[in-house]
Amino acid sequence: MTKVPVRPEMEGFKPYSPGLSIDEIKKRYGLSRVIKMASNENPLGTSPVVQARLASASPLAFRYAQAGSPALSEAIGAHLGVPASCVVAGNGSDEIIDLLLRVVARPGIDNVVAFRPCFSIYDVQSRLCGLEFRQTDLNADFSFPFDALLSLTDENTALVFVTNPDNPSGYACRADELVALAAKLPPRALLVVDEAYVDFAEPLDEFTMLPHFGKIPNLVILRTFSKMYGLAGLRLGYGVMPEWLADLLLRVKLPFSVNILAEQAGLAALEDDIFLSETLRVVREGRELLTRELTAMGCTVRPSQANFLMFDPPMDARTLFEGLLQRGVIIRPLASYGMPGKLRVSIGNEDENREFLVKTAEVLRDNHRHS
Ligand SMILES: *Cc1c(COP(=O)(O)O)cnc(C)c1O
């Protein structure tokens, strides 16, 4: 069949540019060992407690999950101290972002506001929904210019997205600043604070918006099991939002988008305190080590409250990225974020961090010799 007319919004989309996979790189360079520090996954892998729960729940794979995952909403609500009726679990927080846009914003009328650069899902899903996507540049130091953000909003602003801590910079603002922003938004605009990385911020209380939930009527908080909880491949995230909005999302969400194993894994992960504290320790120590060592090699490293670091190497970033690939280390170039001179590396486990540092030093040395 030849191409048929499709929605005009489809004009101009490019495929999502993900981190490269280990198998791809093994094959391309004939390597037997490749490490991936590109997608901010958990450096400790999948928790043994969750693996055991997945194994014991696997006979249930033939069943449909309970529509809307009420048991998980209960558990998350209890864990966070918010009503279960305000929690919507999804197939990653990506699904919640998509649902918010489709439920709240009116195609052809409304607009969505965010910083530039930002997480590409906000932009892609907004445009697919026929919404105008407005952006203002981050400050030069990657802090948030809230006045510029506010000046983009008007009576047709449906959603304002802020990622805190931010990806890819790792910068985080204090929750107080977002409380002030929420109060200044036009009355119908929802403030969506994407806290995918907030678990890694310290001290947590000063960064998360959770203590303010319930006091701010237009606040939505997004969280995910993909990073701190080590479940990126199972797809599980959630939003905490006013009850009326949660109710609307649940009416149109695909009923089984959170599958029965993801739900069990999430329930187990919430109680897995040892894995969580060990993850925090490894990420905080790794973040310090990589910051110190990269700086000593002449890189400019941004302070980070997340499980990754953004840095400017003292050589062409693309060449360093490719030199690392050839040596079996995958990190993330930031050209697709509009920052061709910068790279992002996810904090790995102790072995991965050491290997990344050794190989980076090698590429920098080779480059120095040849220039
Ligand atoms: C990783 C990430 C998420 C989480 O996405 P999931 O769909 O839950 O895996 C959300 N927002 C940002 C900014 C991220 O980097």
Give, using CA atoms, the residue closest to atom 11 of ligand 1.
Answer: 196
Nearest-CA residue for atom 10 of ligand 1: 196
93 Cβ inside 6 Å of ligand 1: yes
Beta strand extents in 1-131 (DSSP E only):
35-36, 87-90, 111-116
Q: Domain 48-272, what fold?
A: Aspartate Aminotransferase; domain 2 (3.40.640)
Structure tokens belonging to residue 14: 């490019």
Q: Is 226 in the pocket of ligand 1 (CB under 6 A)?
A: yes
For ligand 1, atom 2: residue with the closest CA: 196
Judged against a pLDDT cut of 80, whether residue 27 lies above it is answered with yes
Q: How far is the CA of 224 from the centre of ligand 1 (A)?
A: 7
Q: Is the CB of 167 under 6 A from ligand 1?
A: yes
Q: Given a cut of 90, is residue 1 above it in pLDDT?
A: no
Q: 129-144: per-residue pLDDT in tens? A: 999 999 999 999 999 9
Q: Which of 39, 94, 347 to mutate to test the pocket of ligand 1 (most atoms within 8 A of CB)?
A: 94
Atom of ligand 1 at shortest distance to CA of 166?
13
The DSSP secondary structure of 175-239, one letter per residue, reads: HHHHHHHHHHS-TTPEEEEE-TTGGGSSSHHHH-SGGGBTTBTTEEEEEESSSTTS-TTT--EEE
- Could you tell me if the CB of 94 is within 6 A of ligand 1? yes
State if residue 163 touches ligand 1 by the CB under 6 angstroms criterion: yes
pLDDT above 90: percentage of residues in the chain: 93
Choosing from 39, 93, 192 the residue with most ligand 1 atoms within 8 A of its CB, the one to mutate for a pocket test is: 93
* Any ligand 1 atom below 6 A from CB of 157: no
- Best CA proximity match to 238, nearest among 72, 105, 45: 72
Question: 134: part of which helix (H) or strand (E)?
Answer: strand 132-137
Number of neighbours of residue 199 by Cβ within 10 angstroms: 22
Please name the residue whose Cα sits nearest to atom 3 of ligand 1.
196
Q: Closest Cα to atom 15, ligand 1: which residue?
A: 167
Question: Would you say the C-alpha torsion 80, 241, 17, 142 has a positive or negative sign?
Answer: negative
pLDDT single digits (tens) 246-298 = 999 999 999 999 999 999 999 999 999 999 999 999 999 999 999 999 999 99
Q: Is the CB of 198 under 6 A from ligand 1?
A: no
Which pLDDT score is estimated for 181? 98
pLDDT at 252: 97
Our CA dihedral for 227, 231, 234, 239, rounded to 10 degrees, sits at: -50
Kindly state the average pLDDT of the residues 351-371: 94
Cα gap 183→177, rounded to integer Å: 10
- Amino acid symbol at 244: W
CA distance 341 to 328: 21
- Is the beta carbon of 348 within 6 A of some atom in ligand 1? no
Round to whole Å and give the CA distance between 270 and 99: 24
DSSP 331: -
305 Cβ closer than 6 Å to some ligand 1 atom: no
C-alpha distance from residue 324 to each of 287, 341, 360, 363 (Å): 19, 15, 7, 7
Distance of CA 50 to the CA centre of its chain: 21
**What amino acid occupies position 2?**
T
Number of H helices, E strands in the chain: 13, 13
Give the atom of ligand 1 at the shortest distance from the alpha carbon of 94. 7
pLDDT digits (tens, 9 = 90+) for 145-188: 999 999 999 999 999 999 999 999 999 999 999 999 999 999 99
Q: How far apart are CA 117 and CA 164, in angstroms?
A: 13
**Residue 16 scores a pLDDT above 80:** no
Ligand 1: centre distance to CA 251 (Å):
23
Confidence class of residue 365 from pLDDT cuts 50, 70 and 90? very high
**How much of the chain is helix, strand and coil, in % rounded to 5?**
45, 15, 40
Q: Is the CB of 355 under 6 A from ligand 1?
A: no
Is 92's C-beta closer than 6 angstroms to any atom of ligand 1?
yes
Q: Check pocket membership of 257 for ligand 1, CB cut-off 6 A.
A: no
Confidence at residue 307, expressed as pLDDT on a 0 to 100 scale: 98
Structure tokens belonging to residue 316: 């062409």
Quote the ligand 1 centre to 232 CA distance (angstroms).
9
Give the pLDDT of residue 371: 74
Q: What percent of the chain has pLDDT over 70?
A: 99
| pLDDT of 352 strictly over 80 | yes
* 320 touches 341 (CB < 8 A): no
Cα dihedral 212/216/218/221 (nearest 10)? 10
Pocket test for ligand 1, best of 226, 305, 344 (most atoms within 8 A of CB): 226
Are both 8-46+274-370 and 48-272 of the same fold? no
Q: Where are the domains of the chain?
A: 8-46+274-370, 48-272
The SS3 call for residue 35 is strand
Ligand 1 atom 6, closest CA:
92
pTM of the entire structure?
A: 0.96
Q: What is the pLDDT of residue 19?
A: 67
SS3 22: helix
Q: How many CA atoms lie within 13 A of 223 on its CB side?
A: 23
3-state secondary structure of 12: coil
3-state secondary structure of 122: helix
Considering the domain delimited by 8-46+274-370, tell me its CATH architecture: Alpha-Beta Complex (3.90)
Mean pLDDT for the chain?
96
Taking every pair of Cα atoms in the chain, the longest distance, rounded to a whole number of angstroms, is 63
Structural element, H or E, at residue 54: helix 48-57
